[in-house]
Structure 1
Amino acid sequence: MPLLHKIAGVVVVCAVILGLTLPGHRRDREQSAQRAGAAVKAPADAYAAKATGRPVPGASGAAGSPSPSVTPTAPIPAAAPGAAAVKANELGQIPVLMYHRIVPKPEMSLDRSTKELYDELTRLAKGGYAPVTAAEFVNGVFNVPAGKHPVVLTFDDSTPGHFALDPAGNPKPDTAVAVILRVAQENPGFRPTATFYLNKELFGMDDAQAPAGLNWLRRHGFELGNHTVSHPSLAGMPEKRVQDEIGGMEDRIVRLTGAHMTTFAYPFGAVPKKKAWAEKENGRYAFQGIFLAGWRPSISPFDEDFDRWNIDRVRSEGKIKENDCTRYCSTAWLEYLDKNPDERYTSDGDPNTVTFPRTAEDRLAKGFRGRARAY
């Protein structure tokens, strides 16, 4: 097995166990927990701040919101009857699921089998989840049917099990892309999309194959993101090395596809000394959102505490004892959100409005007040 994936498994697992996003960028959890009236805990009690209607928030940071179109003191208009009927809550939590290798038979803790991926995606489809891309999520621009719940599917490291084309130009069976397409076909309304965070391996394709493969993904509604050239830990790296890792991958992707990437995911969830080094470099890259290797769902991009530079993700895994997945991995969190639907993002069906219970009004980012509707 490549040393890269062994190292990735060890570091990400440690991050999950410790409940960190690595030193220096813990999103002010102690302060946030104090604000919310509870410490960060497991799904069953992680949001002891339920009385305030919000999860334990991260560092404050508006999502680059548009300017308000009404004065902050103006009453928020009433929600449409249909939105109230489905109990829309667009300030609820959104699971951003994090996958690594997809293989026939898992060999390490971060691996998921093709069957496990199929089963989890089918569960999402049956449970009313609607996939959106990372870029759509970051910018709060997504069109999810009323009563449905957005979910972001992210795949790190661009390994061959994620995507490959057969001689006829179709996705090879048992790759992640093929599984996503199969689940979408079996469940009408389940949008076949995901975001793939790329390293230099590019699904095992060389530079002669890569343009066709990468552009196939983009044409068919999948998103590409930056994950550095060689998947190093950026923590402790000097500025130039950080920018060379990120910029070098961006240069290659642009050369192969003609497009810049909108989002970035930290290898191992490791944040550099100055996060601004990862956010942009003049003329080379300028991301609109950055994802961590996390252990809890993200808060809504419309929430005042949403921080587009430190977005939580949830590792895909069953409720196994290893690495505290009985509480912090995808199966546990999806069960928690099923049991606590008032804490989950539920769409009002209108991409031009942000609907929520009136009791949650204090959580709305000011820039979205002009789109707000309450019931």
Structure 2
Amino acid sequence: MRVSASLTRIIGLANVVVVTVAIIGLSLLPTGARPHAKPQAGAKPQDTVPAPTLTPVGQPPGIVATPEFARQVGANELGKVPVLMYHRLLRKRMASLDRTPDQLMKELEKLAKRGYVPITAAEFAAGDIHVPAGKFPVVLTFDDGHPSHFALDVNGNPAPDTAVAVIQDVATRYPGFRPVATFWVNKEPFGLRDHASQAAALRWLTEHGYEVANHTWGHANLRALKRKRVREQIVRLERLFKKLGAPSSTTIALPYGALPRDKKAARTGSWDGSRYDFSGVFLAGAEPSLSPYAKNFDRGAIQRIQSNGKTGECRKWCSQYWLDWLDKHPGERYVSDGDPDRISMPEELQGNIVAKRGLQVIVY
């Protein structure tokens, strides 16, 4: 899909709107009681917790694709991928970025019925896409580490109406729907303030296949900071992950979608002797992302789509619009060949693949 100058201006405006609304939404964050993930009895805060063993959850067995098979399933691994952006889940929405648990449930059910399979932002940015043949990857992302994203009940299960509980429920009822997502958090993940609870929460999520990654220490507008402060905001959160025994981040979502003035500082750098190097930097809007195999894919500025309906300013750049658009333009959508070691595409697209991906290319 070629983007016209007018559409480019619309996308730019959309990012500005997302940033503005996010600021308003953050000012409305409730400060009352928050659900907390409780550590096991007798647990004590520690400076260092053993890192969990990471195992991909629900990845389908790979197959060996052929040109004939790729043609049969309509494989197009240079197609566009929806990376959906969520913020708070509230029973009663207080800002346009908010969604209710029921709205999240309905959107995930729609994705499952249409053949979408969730992957994490880390898997997407790395091009490590394991999706059954003929199906479509989707990336579910949640910003700010809000308490409505994850909490454990008294039995150690995801609390009702949290994002994780909704995802797990949909995955149970639609077995091909992988229960994975990416949570980009700040210095108090999911509203938790003590390290024992934080460690327990991150351990549960990573052991169940979810990604928890960097959204800066204090939800900083990186555009307004000097390079040194940008790096400090990123490194301080990475040090917290290390202290909690969580894996280092391989992706970052920029607060307000704002790139720093030195764009490279968002992806790689160092502060106070600690380095970071992300495989993907994610923005705040406002169209499906290019495939990570595409020649023009910019891993330093990956587009996302705000989850919302088709009203007001969302008529042409939020999730309902774009998911319907991809249904109407199936030739533009990423369709998996089911083979993680090969990239399959129609013959007319073979000039758009990035060189030296290290994977075998199938053209039909």
Which category of TM-score, normalised to the shorter sequence, fits these structures?
0.7 to 0.9
Residues 83 and 139, structure 2, Cα contact 8 Å, conserved in 1 = yes
- Residue in 2 aligned with 1:262? 250
5+ unaligned residues in a row in structure 1: which ranges?
1-14, 23-77
- Residue in 1 aligned with 2:116? 129
Give the alignment partner of residue 210 of structure 2, picking from 222, 225, 229.
Answer: 222
SS of the residue 2:223 aligns to:
coil
Deviation by residue 1:183-230 (Cα, 9 ceiling, x = unmatched): 000101100000000112210112221101111000001001100111
5+ unaligned residues in a row in structure 2: which ranges?
1-9, 18-64
- Return the letter of the residue paired with 2:353: L
- Residue in 2 aligned with 1:248? 236
Cα 1:358–1:17 change in 2 (3 A) is: closer
Distance 1:250 1:370 in 2: 31
- TM-score normalized by the length of structure 2: 0.81
Residues 21 and 294, structure 1, Cα contact 8 Å, conserved in 2 = no
SS of the residue 1:367 aligns to:
coil
Give the alignment partner of residue 170 of structure 1, picking from 157, 165, 189.
Answer: 157
- Residue in 2 aligned with 1:363? 352
- Return the letter of the residue paired with 1:294: G
Q: How many residues align?
A: 305
- Return the letter of the residue paired with 1:84: R
Cα 1:298–1:142 change in 2 (3 A) is: same
- Residue in 2 aligned with 1:344? 333
Deviation by residue 1:51-106 (Cα, 9 ceiling, x = unmatched): xxxxxxxxxxxxxxxxxxxxxxxxxxx94322211110000000000000011111
- Residue in 1 aligned with 2:261? 273
SS of the residue 1:246 aligns to:
helix
- Return the letter of the residue paired with 1:113: T
Q: Measure how far apart 1:20 and its partner are.
A: 4.4
Q: Is 2:70 aligned against 1:83?
A: yes
Deviation by residue 1:239-280 (Cα, 9 ceiling, x = unmatched): 121111111111111211242111001000111111222222
SS of the residue 2:281 aligns to:
strand
Mapping 1:1-375, distance limit 5 Å: 18-20=13-15, 79-206=66-193, 207-282=195-270, 283-321=274-312, 324-368=313-357, 371-375=360-364
SS of the residue 1:196 aligns to:
strand
Distance 1:254 1:182 in 2: 31
Q: Measure how far apart 1:166 and its partner are.
A: 1.0
Distance 1:254 1:155 in 2: 21
Residues 264 and 300, structure 2, Cα contact 8 Å, conserved in 1 = no
Residues 251 and 284, structure 1, Cα contact 8 Å, conserved in 2 = no
Deviation by residue 1:336-366 (Cα, 9 ceiling, x = unmatched): 0001101000000111110010011111111
| Identical pairs, percent | 49
Out of 334-343 and 273-282, give the one that drifted further.
273-282
Q: CA RMSD in A?
A: 1.8
Distance 1:200 1:370 in 2: 38
SS of the residue 1:120 aligns to:
helix
Residues 15 and 257, structure 2, Cα contact 8 Å, conserved in 1 = no
SS of the residue 1:164 aligns to:
coil
Distance 1:294 1:16 in 2: 7
Residues 231 and 267, structure 1, Cα contact 8 Å, conserved in 2 = yes
Q: Measure how far apart 1:369 and its partner are.
A: 7.3
SS of the residue 2:224 aligns to:
coil
Cα 1:136–1:370 change in 2 (3 A) is: closer
Residues 21 and 270, structure 1, Cα contact 8 Å, conserved in 2 = no
Distance 2:330 2:92 in 1: 34
